[in-house]
Amino acid sequence: IHPTAVRRPDYITVQSGNTAYTDNHITAKYLDRGADVLISDGQFTVKPTVKTYEFQTTRKVGKTGIMMIGMGGNNGSTLCATILANRHQISWHTKDGIQQPNYIGSVLRASTVRIGTEPGTGKEVHVPISDVLPMVHPNDLVFGGWDISGFPMDKAMERAKVLEYDLQRQVKPHMALLGRPLPSIYYPDFIAANQEARADNIIPGTDKQAHLEHIRADIRRFKAENQLDRVVVFWTANTERYSEIIPGVNDTADNILAAIKNSHSEVSPSTIFAVASILEGEPFVNGAPQNTFVPGVIALAEREKSFIGGDDLKSGQTKLKSVLAEFLVNAGIKPLSIASYNHLGNNDGHNLSAEPQFKSKEISKSSVVDDMVDANRLLYKPPVPGAKGKAAKGEHPDHIVVIKYVPAVGDSKRAIDEYYSEIFCGGRQTINIFNECEDSLLATPLILDLTILTELLTRIKYRGEGQTDFAPLYPVLSLLSYMCKAPLVKPGTDVVNSLGRQRNALDSFLKACIGLEGNSDLLLETRIW
Ligand code: NAI
Ligand code: DG6
């Protein structure tokens, strides 16, 4: 068995007055250290702050299901087939030899976290991140879902052309047992017209309230039939166009519910799925870029205290950008332009060849450097108060994103990026990147991570100083940011795109839940006598 697929019992025990273990819970006290900065006449006055919190994690990992919208697509079918390959330990022949199944590419299954140093030697100790808190093992996920295409799952896997033939051959009988995806909601206006031929498995009618109730009943039935404690509902269907934000229609919780009742044309299928999940009290994650989470949906999630997260999987080109742009800006180098092209030949690429759907993807791919630029106004001119146009937003590198559909390359996406920067005393630097990979094999582990992390976050509660009861986390799960191109965050708070910062937040949060300090690279003992 590949090490990333191995199950491990609880290996970490924290011995400290701040951490308590019972049969049911791990409870840990955490000191959140920060600083208040007062800015006056260009002077910064900084006051260190400390707030005390306690985190309580339920130890029992419930039986967890994932219901994918777009189950029969490349990501959906690849996720099912690869879990089945891992679960049944199916290895397959390739031209390079025998390949074992694994979970490479999953942060939670294939990466480690530093938990401290060994006394005496001072050597750093790293453990699998999945050892820090009890998490569901991907092999145990129960999967199901919907698709507007009625292809049975074994045929859907073949249509996707992602996996090696010998793996497909062996996993096919298992995939066949999954049958067909459930019929889904199809509003042709939201996805590209070129998808119409696929839509042969749809819930009849145009009554959006009836569609909402239908989806809610599907979630309830799936949960009951599989005796699940938790169902994560996951949008991995085609990218939709943006919904128009219309006051009185999708701006408040009550308005979005009324808009569904009135079958308003601006309510998208993904929004119906999100609302259904929220009303069922099950988390909803959006793996695509469209604005499923219109303000009314976020307000509804807050009101119902139901978890949501997204948007759009950060798998390849954008993930690298969220590292490289930060590296350049933090190195004091000034990117002047970032030009990103990619071409791909899978059904996602086909759908994105239509302008409104491309627009959704362009928005999510483009916002990824904004916070890094905002953080360095030595390099980029700050926004000019009261100004109009570009000056109002502050200086920003030119940033373009181009996506082209090239059927021949199938799922193997080619991404080409040029970073053109200003360096010392008027010099110029050009970095070119050519990134080629199977898109669905980068995306699928992220779907697993998002599902596993979401399930965990539903089991963690917190209380602040003076609070007697533990409360669930805020409904918008911004800790999912690492896997998302356009992270959804609590309204009014800053989006963090830097991959390093997103990872640090995740590690620090998990460690806080067992009473350990976040990652520090101070390594004082290596710097003093
Ligand atoms: P795909 O086109 O192979 O699969 C999408 C599936 O959704 C299709 O089977 C389609 O029939 C189905 N579908 C469309 N509308 C539906 C609806 N209303 N209800 C139920 N099913 C519906 O696409 P793929 O490659 O699996 O990607 C899925 C989504 O994930 C796309 O939106 C894509 O942009 C997004 N994404 C993919 C990444 C990747 O690396 N593969 C990374 C980031 C995001
Ligand atoms: C082409 O850009 C198709 C898209 O769906 C991407 O493959 C996907 O969003 C992944 O994007 P990135 O920028 O993270 O590689």
Condensed to tens digits (0 to 9), the pLDDT of residues 321-334 reads 989 999 999 999 99
pLDDT over threshold 90, residue 527: no
Task: Please say if 334 is a catalytic residue.
Answer: no
Q: In 3-state terms, what secondary structure has residue 491?
A: coil
Is 316 close to ligand 2, i.e. is its CB under 6 Å away? yes
| Residue from 452, 457, 483 nearest 364 by CA | 483
Query: Which residue owns the Cα nearest ligand 2 atom 10?
Result: 315
pLDDT tens track for 254-275: 999 999 999 999 999 999 999 9
Options 314, 334, 361, 365, the catalytic residue: 361
Closest CA to 61 of 112, 10, 99: 10
CA 94 to ligand 1 center in whole angstroms: 27
Tokens of 365: 């791919």
349 lines ligand 1 (CB under 6 A): no
Which one, of 482, 486, 428, 490, lies nearest residue 454 by Cα? 482
Mean model confidence pLDDT for the chain? 95
Whether 311 contacts 487, CB under 8 Å: yes
What three-state secondary structure class fits 441? helix
313 pocket-lining for ligand 1 (C-beta < 6 Å) = yes
Catalytic residue among 147, 413, 449, 507: 413
Q: Which of 39-53, 123-137, 215-229, 378-392 has the lowest mean pLDDT?
A: 378-392
Segment 176-183 shows an average pLDDT of 98
Interval 84-109: pLDDT, tens: 999 999 999 999 999 999 999 999 99
Q: What b/e readout covers 81-100, taking b as 16+ CB neighbours within 10 angstroms? A: bbbbbbbeebbbeeeeeebe
274 or 361, higher pLDDT? 274
Closest-lying ligand 1 atom to the alpha carbon of residue 191 = 15
**What tokens were used for 249?**
């229609």
Percent pLDDT > 70 in the chain is 100
Known active-site residue 469: no
Nearest CA to ligand 1 atom 12: 70
User: Is there a catalytic annotation at residue 413?
Assistant: yes
C-alpha torsion 180→185→188→191, nearest 10:
-80
| Non-local CB neighbours of 466 within 8 Å, separated by 6+ positions | none
- Please name the residue that has the structure tokens 């109730």: 213
Of all ligands present, the nearest one to the C-alpha of 75 is 1
pLDDT tens column, 298-329: 999 999 999 999 999 999 889 999 899 999 99
CB of 439 closer than 6 angstroms to any ligand 1 atom: yes
Q: Is 319 in the pocket of ligand 2 (CB under 6 A)?
A: yes
Q: How far is CA 375 from CA 317, 424, 495, in A?
A: 22, 20, 12
Q: Report the separation in Å between the CA atom of 21 and the middle of ligand 1, taken as the mean of its atom positions.
A: 42
Q: Supply the ipTM of this predicted assembly.
A: 0.98
Question: Cis (ω within 30 of 0) for the bond into 348?
Answer: no
How confident is the model over 143-172, as pLDDT tens digits?
999 999 999 999 999 999 999 999 999 999
- Diameter of the chain by CA atoms? 76
Q: Let me know: does 410 contact 161? Beta carbons within 8 Å.
A: yes
- Over residues 417-423, the mean pLDDT reads 96
